[in-house]
Each structure stands twice: as C-alpha cells, then as structure tokens.
Structure 1
C-alpha cells in the first residue's frame, strides 16, 4: 500500500497556548497551499491527520484541493511532551536529542520514543487497512513521530540523525513516500517544494 507522510510546515509559536493548539503561520500556510496547488496529492486521495490544529490545517488545505474528506485520529499526534510544556528552542533541541538518544527512557516525563513509535506504526497500519486498493493515502502529521515511522519502515535504529531537520526544511513541511506491505521507505525526507508529483504511480 503506497502512502505519503507529510509534516506540517511553520507554525505560530506561543508559550501561552498549548502546543497541540498552535496554528500554521502565514509562511506555513503559504507553503501548504503551494504544495496542494502542485498536485502532489492526487484527486480522490484519502487524507488522514493528527488532531493537532497545525496538522489539521494542513490536511484541510490538501483536502480542499483533492475534493476528499479528512479523517482525524489523536493517536497520530506528536510525541507527548506535556510534562514539560513549552520549552525555548535551545532547551527543546536538547530535550529532543535526549528523546532520540535514549528511546527506552522518558526524558523529563516525555512519552518514550519506543512507545511513540509503536503508536504511530500501529495507527498508520490500522488507517491503511481501511484504504481501498489503488487509492492514494496521505498522512498529515509531525516531525518526531514521522521520523519514528521512517525509522521503522527503513529498519533503522531510532536516531536524531533521521529527523526531518537533518535532511530537509528545518521549519517542517517535509515528506516521504512509503509502502507498508512490505515495509519499505521510498526515500529520505524532502521539503514539500522538492517533492515531485507522480509518487503514487
């Protein structure tokens, strides 16, 4: 089953608002709209999304261009970081390094990487079971769980070196295509501007 995983692009960061409620920034929305306009997501594609606001906004933009509804699931959300709440960028990066470096350990109460990986893999697998043959499937989500899914598909250990920020746009808005059965990654992270139409063919 061929599918595409896309992370939300840039967001409006606000320490006073819970991270799952952050919205796309103007730049993020412009990038998402340009991506949708390029026809990378084929008409009729089934679109799945995390229930976090930024991912749902991306999904809605893609759905408007393809004429299909959006199916949301909170289990597609980003790794649970509520134990620490908002962290300034430098502290967040240090915590993210710990998250990937010690996948079986909870960093300051964060969801463990092994648990987040199991969750996203199981949720994507369940979602794809509902997709008819020869129908494109697109997942709108987040950088960390997207990276954990990518590691699983490629048969690689969990590592920060696999993160989208190490391969493509550091602000998000990156994607990769994959097959679930058999599990196969079709390429590394690419910025949505660089990802070519025709991936589902």
Structure 2
C-alpha cells in the first residue's frame, strides 16, 4: 500500500497574522476540492495533519471525501521561522536558499534544517511504527519539512533541488512498511489535483 505526503496549496497571505494561522486562499481551496474528487482520496484510511491552520483546512477537505477523521501530529509543523516573522516573497526565497544550503547552521534564528529534518522524520516514524501498512495513509503539511522528509526517504543529502514546485499543493508517494527506514520514495513532487494514484 501507499503513503502520501501532501503540502497545503496557496494561502491567504496576511502580514498582520502569524504564519501558522494563515488560511487557504480561494485558489488553494479550489485545488484541494479538485484533488478530493480523485479516486485515490477515497482509498485513504488515515489522514494526519500538521497543527497549522492551512494544513488542517487542506486535511479536512480530503478527510471529508475519504470518510475519515483528521488526526493532528503536533510536531509536524513547518520549519520554525518565527525569528524573522513575515518576509516578502523575494526575501523568503533567499532565506530558503540559505536554509537548504547550510543545513547545520541557523539562518537569522530559523530552526536548523538538520533539526527540522530530525523532527519530521521522528514524527512520521513514530506514526508509521504503530500503523498497519496495509492501510493507505496521508500526511498533510508543508513544503519545507516535506522536502526534508523526502530527502531522507530518498537517501539524499538536504538540498533545495528536492523542493516542491512553486505554489504548494503538491504530493509525493512512498511505499509503506513496518518502519520508515524501509519505506521507499515512489514519485517526485506532483500537483495534488493531477496525481493519478499509485501505479
């Protein structure tokens, strides 16, 4: 069976609101609804979300289509970037480049990439350990920690060339096993509404 990591799509950017509290934009919601109509969603038997609002909103739409409840994994939040607060698009892109290029050092107080990777891998590992691999599962979260998880699954070093395409709302698929170390990456980041399901 398969596991998925799904990043939330476009959000309503509001510099006056803390980033974890941002919600989906109309376009983002439209994309999740389109994905929810795909046959693979109905196969999901568990959906585990980051505690951030935009991820929960994404997970809730998918969960309604799958007929399951959303579970929250509190440690699966996005990279902690609270030290810099809101950054413009160009400033954020430059910061992200620095984050991935120097994983063992903090960029202006951001969570280190190696620490964020350990956090997301540990969180997903703990869930996989007690999960029946015969039951398809989806983790809904963020592009940054998702890329760090993807690098680990693929056995690759941390690097931004593994990052998702712009806009978010992408997923990658991996095989399920009794522990995360035995799970294998099965596809690269793919827009959620275009993914055809496990092949």
Is the TM value for this pair above 0.5?
yes
Structural mapping, 1:118-157, within 5 Å: 118-157=118-157
Structure 2 residue 176 is matched with structure 1 residue 173: no
Q: Which secondary structure state, in structure 2, belongs to the residue aligned with residue 185 of structure 1?
A: coil
Give the C-alpha shift of residue 181 in structure 1: 4.6
Structure 2 residue ranges without an equivalent (≥5): none
Residues 159-185 of structure 1, C-alpha deviations (whole Å, 9 max, x = no match): 1111002xxxx1100000013351311
Query: How far apart, CA to CA, are the structure 1 residues paired with 2:169 and 2:130?
Result: 26
Partner of 1:73: 73
Structure 1: any 5+ residue segments left out of the alignment? none
Whether contact under 8 Å (2:47, 2:71) holds in the other structure is: yes
> How far apart are the structure 2 equivalents of 1:150 and 1:133?
18
Structure 2 residue aligned with 1:50: 50
Q: Distance in 2 between the 1:43 and 1:52 partners?
A: 24
- TM-score of the two chains, using structure 1 as the length reference: 0.93
RMSD: 1.3
* Deviation of the 1:3 alpha carbon: 0.6
In 2, Cα distance between equivalents of 1:80 and 1:126: 21
Tell me what 2:108 maps to. 108
- TM-fit CA distance, 1:46: 0.4
